[in-house]
Chains A and B, each alone.
Chain A
Amino acid sequence: MTTDNRLGDTTSGGDFEALDRALETYGADRTRWPLEVRHALSHLMATSPEAQRRLRQAGMFDRLLDQAPVASAAASAAARAALLERIMVAATHQPRLVHAPAEAPRTRVTPAIGWREHGFAAAALAASLVFGVIAGQTTALGPVAVALVTGVSAGSGGAEQQLAATDEAEGLLDEDLL
């Protein structure tokens, strides 16, 4: 036997020891042995009557283990059916993690982008409204305001010009009001 204690690592001097270990570990059914163990012991099994005897004894022990009681087939079938139903009933009352399928991509824009666009539109609308009001007031009252301002600033020295400007401004105001 080598220093490695794995079952597959055997030398000719340790074959029986390896056989005993294989039988102790895996039992007498050689199809259950690991492949390397089977290969390592195949020659011994084929040629040694002592190995065959040990194999038969291990087979007897396997038969002994098989004596362990099992439930009768009829009772098992009935109990199995009842248990299956019990599990199904219990499952329907169990909380669980459900896999949610991925949703199809939506065509509408996300709320963040929409609000941003709406914000621009509202701001533009408000700005145009304010601009329009101011522009309108400026157009309607501008000449009057100009005339008044001019009149005040000219003082008493330009009466004809003031009257002329006032008349012109009133005419424009009338037109605007119409």
Chain B
Amino acid sequence: MAAIQGDSIAGLGPAPASAVADEAGLVARSARGETAAFRTLTERHLTSIVAIARRMLRDDAEAEDVAQETFLRLWRAGATLDVGPAGVKPWLRRVVSNLCIDRVRGAKRLTVTDEVPEVPDPPRQLAGLESREMQRRVDQALGQLPERQRLALTLFHYEGLSQVEVGAAMGISDEAVESLLGRARRQLKVDLKAEWQALLMDNGN
């Protein structure tokens, strides 16, 4: 096994006929304990999994912890993992989604906050500061969404998943995804009304 574990990624064998077959092969090889295959899978999906965790948790260190736990679960799952036709990505999304929701709920239980909702600042003249302030406001508004709404919006809007994929990742129906997305955007329109109006005026709407 030591010799196999020392295989380089280039030594993983001939290029498979399709990405799906490749993914299934990598998962199978990872299940047999081949670290090179596991590394390839991790490299392939790490960015998107970290991105989901970052959007959800809004904290780089926490996001990395969650991403690490997600991939370690893939490693530990071994042969018990049943890879579907879409590869391992839906499974990873589901795991990271659940871990993020658990963290957010745990943080809500543990954190006592004395923050006062901020009143939007008057428009600034400096474009850079304005942009940074806009980012902060959007980030803040996203952070105030209920965790499931935030997760649905993160997966759909920021990660580009389809409605069906979001449902699969969250373990809910298409109708439930529709409802979460609608409520999330309606809430954001309320929270970001001033910014949105300013943007509309700037663009002549």
By a beta-carbon cutoff of 8 Å, the part of chain A in contact with chain B is 6-7, 21, 24-27, 32, 34, 53, 56-57, 60-65, 67-71, 76, 79-80, 83-84, 86-88, 90-92, 94-99, 101
Contact = CB atoms under 8 A, between A and B. Distances in A.
A25 B181 contact: yes
B157 A65 contact: yes
Nearest to A21: B182
Interface string B134-169: 111011001000000000010011100011000000
A96 B189 contact: no
A87 B71 contact: yes
Given A21-B182, A57-B205, A84-B43, A64 B192 contact: yes
Question: Taking chain B's interface residues, is the majority helix, strand, or loop, or is none over half, making it mixed?
Answer: helix
A83 B200 CA distance: 40
A8 to B, nearest CB: 11
A80 B32 contact: no
B105 interface: no
B107 to A, nearest CB: 19
Interface size, B (range): 35 or more
A91 B135 contact: no
Interface string B36-57: 0011001100110011001100
Nearest to B154: A68
Contacts of A91: 35, 38, 71-72, 75
B95 interface: no
A71 B94 CA distance: 23
A97 B138 contact: no
Given A91-B71, A91-B72, A98-B32, A65 B138 contact: yes
B75 A65 contact: no
B79 A60 contact: no
A86 B72 CA distance: 11
B32 A90 contact: no
Interface in B171-187: 175, 178, 181-182, 185-186
18 contacts: A24-B182, A25-B178, A25-B185, A32-B156, A60-B200, A60-B203, A63-B199, A64-B192, A65-B188, A67-B134, A68-B158, A70-B54, A71-B60, A86-B68, A87-B46, A95-B76, A97-B76, A97-B78
Interface string B96-125: 000000000000000000000000000000
